Amino acid sequence: MNCLGKRMTKTKIILFLLVTVVIGAWLECNIDHGIAPLPGKLGVDVIFINSRIPENTEGIYLFVAPKFPPHAINELYLSPNSLPFWQIDRSAGEFARDTIYTEIALPFGHYEAIGLWWYNTETESNLADVFTLKIAPNFLPASIDITPEEPYVRTELWANLTRVERDAFIEGTIHFDGPFPPNTLATAIGAYFRKPQKDVEYLIYLLSMDFSINENPYHYKLPVPSRYGAIEYLAVFWLSERSGLDDFRTIGFYEDPENPGQPGKIKIVPNGTVKGYDIYAHWP
């Protein structure tokens, strides 16, 4: 599908499966290896609904998913270059709109989702940095088809980078009921503006995620956006070796102190830190 697998060491492949997006590797995949060009093409008009671009923006990349949620990140088709976001007039008014056209070559087939992935200069990017998905009338990701009869498809995406403006923090300690299982591939904490009910909602409602959990107990400080006013679901996930991204298991969540067993709502303070949100996690 792309040349990432040939260019990355075993360690980097593991990190890649841990939802780390290595943009530099994408760029290297533009080298001509004599392979015939892909027959289809998707053109996208990316409409920025305002001119607010975070100062720490490294790049904005188009992705196309044959399956969504993907089993692994390397199943995605990723644009080799960032959208030229620097062309947007940041001095324009708050609600000034600007459009950038981009396209990506694809094989013929059915694709369950298209979206945009934000990459920043400060931290490794992960699934929480998918800030735009094309949504169908049923509020699920919209699909497209690239066929010999219609090899070129053009669509649009609405982009709002305020979703990744994480100006506040939630702080607490995660307590596990034993040592990490030997087959642990990743352990993460994720914050959601709404409790997910379906698999795809674990990506759509995701606001922030941290994959650096590596000890017991683990003190976390998770950056979150304050624009939603509250986090309704804060959970800890575990992924075993040889598992895909859709195999994450929920092993704990922040519980309502007045209603144990139910998710607790966390009010967020703009540009501030809320503390004491401990989670007790149980290994599967």
pLDDT of residue 41: 96
CA atoms of 119 and 85, how far apart (whole Å) = 12
pLDDT of amino acid 53? 87
Confirm if 221 and 242 have CB atoms less than 8 A apart.
no
Task: Return the structure tokens found at 204.
Answer: 């759509």
Residues 132, 248 within the same domain: no
For residue 54, the model assigns a pLDDT of: 87
Which residue range forms the structural domain that includes residue 186? 166-281
Contact between 265 and 256 (Cβ < 8 Å): yes
Q: Do 140 and 186 belong to one domain?
A: no
d(CA 48, CA 50): 5
- Does one domain contain both 36 and 16? yes
Both 178 and 266 in one domain: the answer is yes
pLDDT value for 2: 41
14 lies in the same domain as 154: yes
Do residue 28 and residue 135 come from a single domain?
yes
Task: Say how far apart CA 171 and CA 64 lie, in whole Å.
Answer: 34
Last residue of a domain, one of 163, 194, 214: 163
The partner residues of 259 in beta bridges, in order of sequence, read 256
User: What's the total number of domains in the chain?
Assistant: 2
pLDDT in tens, the chain (284 residues): 443 333 333 333 333 334 443 333 343 444 344 466 789 999 999 999 888 888 889 999 999 999 887 777 788 999 999 999 888 876 666 666 789 999 999 999 999 999 999 998 887 778 888 889 999 888 889 999 999 999 999 999 999 888 888 999 999 999 999 999 999 989 999 999 999 998 888 888 999 999 889 999 999 999 999 999 999 999 999 999 877 766 789 999 999 999 999 999 999 999 999 999 999 999 99
Helix (H) or strand (E) holding 190: strand 184-192
Of 106, 128, 163, which one is at a domain's C-terminal end? Answer: 163
- In this structure, the answer to whether residues 192 and 62 fall within a common structural domain is no
